[in-house]
Structure 1
Amino acid sequence: MGIVRRESGPEAHVPVLVVGAGACGLIAALAAHDAGAAVMVLERDPVPAGSTSLSAGYIPACNTRWQAEANADDGVDRMLGDIQKKNHGEGDPVLGRAVCEASGPTLEWLADAHGQSFILETAFRYPGHTAYRMHSHPQKTGVALVGSLAAAAERAGIDIVCEAPVRDLIADGAGKVLGVVIERPDGSTDEIGCDALVLACNGYGGNPEMLRSYIPEMADALYFGHTGNQGDAVRWGTELGAAVAQMGSYQGHGSVAHPHGALISWALMMEGGVQVNTEGARFSNEHAGYSEQALKVLAQPGGIAWNVYDRRLHELGMRHEDYRGAHGMGAIRELPDLAALADLIGCPRDRLAATLAHATEAAAGQLEDPFGRDFTTAPTLDTPPYFAVRVTGALFHTQGGLSIDTSARVLTAEREPLPNLFAGGGAAVGLSGSDVEGYLSGNGLVTAVTLGRIAGTGAARLAQETTA
């Protein structure tokens, strides 16, 4: 895979090409279509999916009508402040502000122009969010979100060509993309020309070599992302002269059921649950963030932890399809008392009893937690039966990528835009700073959604200018 240098493009031609049919790519296509350009989406998989399909599908957004209906106080400054606080000021505040400003209008445009349904989550807040701003498809899964967006693209008459991985970009000597080379299922190749290209295809979480180079601490961890995330966008972009940024940034997760491979909602921890290791001891502040929790879990004996909670939280979990799936697989265990819970974990009963007693006392304000967690924000686990699930830490997706401006134009090291290349989602640098701790829940999807719309609109305008 690379760049084929040529001074003329293929005869077959579409004004705007989008590589990738996850949330970013599908939204880019819808935006380009609404801006008046003919557009085609190229997807390597048999059906639209991408990293979005593996997520919980929550999109943070501010100033939305769903927030207004729920009297949820929020705004651009507040949302950006939460993002920048989580990334320790390492994220680009200009790009961050553009994303926050576009977040609400983008969801309302998707709802009004393309029939997308959203609900606001008000049962809990993820770590670092000071307002209720998580919006999702009513089914609360990334699969449902992608499916709904794909249906909208179909209604709009947008061509989505699946099983058509892009192998090469065709570009002239000045770095202008003239088209792409795709591979068909039978191994043959076709060329499609374009006036503007949107890279909405992938990060590099599925590329062991790139992980060893940029994120060595997760090179051998469970990868819970899309296997197609091989870093193609970064390789194409850099070969064209693009800069990259914050390549050590990523989203981890400290709560993937093992060995079942099912995501367990972090809402269980935020609303009173605890994580213990195989010795029955807590080892962290569970409210600091589920992304950095991946490393903390992996540092425990065997890289294993147990989520421990009560029936109230089990019922909260059952509102989420991912959790229901884990329950159906037998990952969720119900225990009648503390002795049975300790036996399941394989830890001393007195050690586990002391751990849970500490949480109860901290919740009552009788002591401070040595890890810094505020237990007074939610009820504690003082009534059996208990519920438990064995989990490990995992890499979900990378947050570094091609440098872009607020128009989603791909930039050189001199901050000059390449002639006609746009990027968003996993292909572009995100808002999470330089490492795992900077990831605020939803940072991946909010950039996919907002930059998808920005990139698609910009690509359409550029294509129209090219043919004018």
Structure 2
Amino acid sequence: MQDFDVVVAGAGAAGMMAALAAAEAGARVALLERDAAAPSTLSVSGGLISAAGTRWQAAAGERDSPEMFAADVRAKSGAAVDALLLATVTEAAAEAVTFLADVAGLPIHLHTASRWPGHSAMRLHATPAESGAELQALLRQAVARQPRIAFRDGVVVTALRPEGVATRGGDVPARSVVLATGGFGGAPGLVARYCPEAARAVHVGGSYADGVGLEWAAALGAELLCMDAYQGQPHVSPHLVQGLRPRFGASLPALGAVLVNRQGRRFVAEDMGPSELTAHLLAQPGGVAVEVWGEAAQQAALAGGPFRRAVELGAVTRCADIAGLAARFGLPEPALAATLAAVGQDPDPFGRRRWGGDLAAPYFAAEVTGALAHTQGGVRVNADARVLRADGSAIPGLFAAGGVACGISGNGAAGYVPGNGLAQSFGLGLRAGRAAAR
């Protein structure tokens, strides 16, 4: 068996970043993936990474800093986020984006098409297509170019060892292990236990988000934090199209979109955070609603990879007028007309404060439901992404990043802000890789 300095379990955003960082620091790395062809949490995402104080922001005249980023997180999640974790992620995210550009060779830019809820500055970074699938493909190319990384697909990790991991094909020894196996959004029993309000939500994250890494770490005494935290996704089609479930992205409300239920009436302030919006949508009859937006919003939203894919799959309908919109989705026309006529009034009966663009014919619309993108609770780590016990001591040789590690969303769904999941994955992945290499 080949000797390795570091073994990384899971080749998603966190795992590939950890492998690249460890290899760049001189380590010999085994990067193990269960099924590289299966959808991952990264590949189905919008590929947007929150990072503050970067050169791309400076070039755009955007004033931001890790401290401002942290303040925005606290404003959304309160005091529930571990202070050390928050400082680590908000600082490391900018380092990670720079690493992706300068070391991994990825073409990074600042997303400027729209402002997203929860961010006081434009701090979402992405690759050209603003697509998680593109970001994953570019990362895999970077991994393939790194001679110190041995990428092994089709490897099922079954347990942690004192030094290395056990797989169905035998042990893979290494001085350090980075757990990057994902969260538990695809494990219904764990979701029902920890996130019961999301139990009815459709899971749209990675195929293998089964929580096994959490169980391995917990068996070694790792402390688990904020296990009720998750990212809800309210802009998801309730229907499969060509075997795929179209996702429309969270930018639509900021561009003026509204949600109406089967009675043709609004039911919520659509400009709240997308994660907490999910529960309101699921509470509607049938757990579905119709999202409606205008021409300008349609053109702006096309900047996002998931939205473009949804359009390509035919999941977005163009309607010339309210009568056509009502007929297409089986909505009562008088109620729908009254609802759309009242859009933008001040004060809004639901407390909406931001409207974005005007909502006028022609209308674009899609049926949507509430979904679970990924969980945010996980193992506690320190500034080097070392896994910690409840007493604060580190488990020797064990690191964690991504869905298996606690995120910066606090408790429940309300604390999640778009882009913060990848900020944690890349930020902690960078720290884990570098520390594991040492």
CA distance, structure 2, for counterparts of residue 194 and residue 284 of structure 1: 52
2:155 counterpart residue number: 164
2:89 is matched with which residue: 99, 122, 146? 99
Tell me the amino acid that sits aligned with residue 150 of structure 2.
D
Matches within 5 A, 1:287-302: 287-302=271-286
- Can you list the C-alpha shifts for 1:239-270, whole angstroms capped at 9, x where unaligned? 11111111110001111022031110221211
User: Does 2:161 match 1:181?
Assistant: no
2:125 is matched with which residue? 135
CA distance in 2, matches of 1:97, 1:372: 32
Q: CA shift at 1:23, angstroms? A: 1.0
Question: Is contact 1:21-1:49 (8 Å) kept?
Answer: no
Question: Counterpart in 1 of 2:179?
Answer: 199
1:190 correspondence with 2:170:
yes
> Which deviates the most, 302-311 or 351-360?
351-360
Residue 83 of structure 1 aligns to which amino acid in structure 2?
V
SS of equivalent to 1:15: strand
Q: Distance in 1 between matches of 2:296 and 2:61?
A: 25
Task: Note closer, same or farther for the CA distance 1:49–1:345 as it changes in structure 2 (3 Å cut).
Answer: closer
Q: Determine the C-alpha separation between the residues in 2 that align with 1:431 and 1:374.
A: 25
- Coordinate RMSD, CA, aligned: 1.3
Query: Counterparts in 2 of 1:332-347, with a 5 A limit?
Result: 332-347=316-331
Contact 1:141–1:321 (CA<8 Å) still a contact in 2? yes
Partners of 2:217 and 2:394 in 1: CA distance: 11
Contact 2:385–2:399 (8 Å) recurs in 1: yes
Equivalent residue in structure 2 for 1:434, among 397, 402, 411: 411
The residue number in structure 2 matching 1:75 is: 65
Match of 1:450? 427
Structure 1 121/413 Cα, relative in aligned 2: closer, same or farther at 3 Å?
A: same
Answer yes or no: is 1:58 the counterpart of 2:54: no
Q: Which residue of 1 aligns with 2:207?
A: 227
> 1:108 deviation in Å?
1.2
Structure 1: gaps spanning 5 or more residues? 1-10, 171-176, 184-188, 462-468
Name 2:263's counterpart in structure 1: 279
Deviations 1:208-259 (A, max 9, x none): 1111111122223211011211111111001111111111100011110220
Cα deviations across residues 73-128 of structure 1 (Å, max 9, x unaligned)?
11111111111111122111221111111221221122112211111011111111
1:376-395 map, 5 Å: 377-381=355-359, 383-395=360-372
Deviations 1:295-353 (A, max 9, x none): 11110010001110111111122222322221222211111111111222322212111
Q: Find out whether 1:326 has 2:307 as its counterpart.
A: no
Matches within 5 A, 1:204-283: 204-260=184-240, 261-283=245-267
Give the TM-score normalised by structure 2. Answer: 0.96
The CA deviation string for residues 411-432 of structure 1, in whole angstroms up to 9 with x for no partner, is 1110110011000100100100
Q: CA shift at 1:140, angstroms?
A: 0.7
In the other structure, the counterpart of 2:348 is: 369
Please say if residues 21 and 42 of structure 1, whose CA atoms lie closer than 8 Å, have aligned partners that are also in contact: yes
The separation in 2 between residues aligned to 1:192 and 1:458, in whole angstroms, is 19
CA distance in 2, matches of 1:324, 1:410: 39
SS class of match (1:354): helix
1:391-411 superposed Cα distances (whole Å, 9 cap, x missing partner) = 000001000011111110101
Q: CA deviation at 1:293?
A: 1.2
The answer to whether the 8 A contact 1:20-1:50 is kept is no
1:174 is matched with none
SS at match of 2:8: strand
CA deviations on 1:125-180 (whole Å, 9 max, x unpaired) are 1111110000001111111111111111111111110010101222xxxxxx2221
Please give the alpha-carbon distance, in whole angstroms, between the structure 1 residues aligned to 2:350 and 2:83.
Answer: 30
Report whether the alignment pairs 1:42 with 2:6.
no
Counterpart Cα distance in 2 of 1:224 and 1:131: 28
Q: Does 1:419 align with 2:401?
A: no
* Counterpart residue number, 2:17: 27
Q: How far has the Cα of 1:280 moved from its partner?
A: 0.9
Contact 1:84 1:93 in 2 (8 A): no
Contact 2:131–2:306 (Cα < 8 Å) also in 1: yes
Aligned to 2:332: 348
Distance 2:401 2:414 in 1: 21
Q: Does 1:153 align with 2:131?
A: no
Is residue 113 of structure 2 the alignment partner of residue 123 of structure 1? yes
Q: Do 1:44 and 1:165's aligned partners in 2 also have CA atoms closer than 8 Å?
A: yes
Q: What secondary structure is seen at the aligned counterpart in 1 of 2:103?
A: helix
Tell me the distance in 1 between the aligned counterparts of 2:92 and 2:307: 31
Cα displacement (A) at 1:49:
5.9
How far apart, in 2, do the equivalents of 1:379 and 1:396 lie?
A: 27
Q: Distance between the aligned counterparts of 1:400 and 1:89, measured in 2?
A: 15
SS at match of 1:279: coil
Please give the alpha-carbon distance, in whole angstroms, between the structure 2 residues aligned to 1:113 and 1:210: 37
1:89 aligns with 2:79: yes
How far the C-alpha of 1:48 sits from its partner, in A, is: 8.2
2:6 alignment partner in structure 1? 16
SS for the counterpart of 1:263 is coil
Does structure 2 retain, via aligned residues, the 8 Å contact 1:21–1:50? Answer: no
Looking at structure 1, the residues matched to 431 and 36 of structure 2 have their Cα atoms a distance apart, in angstroms, of: 26
Q: Which has the larger radius of gyration?
A: 1
Q: Any conservation in 1 of the 2:188–2:199 contact (CA below 8 Å)?
A: yes
Partner SS for 2:292:
strand
TM-score by length of 1: 0.90
Partner Cα distance (2:420, 2:389) in 1: 24
Given that 1:253 and 1:290 are in contact with CA atoms closer than 8 Å, whether structure 2 keeps it comes out as: yes
Question: Taking every aligned residue pair, what percent have the same amino acid on both sides?
Answer: 39
Task: Identify the match of residue 403 of structure 1 among 371, 374, 380.
Answer: 380
How far apart, in 2, do the equivalents of 1:396 and 1:49 lie? Answer: 12
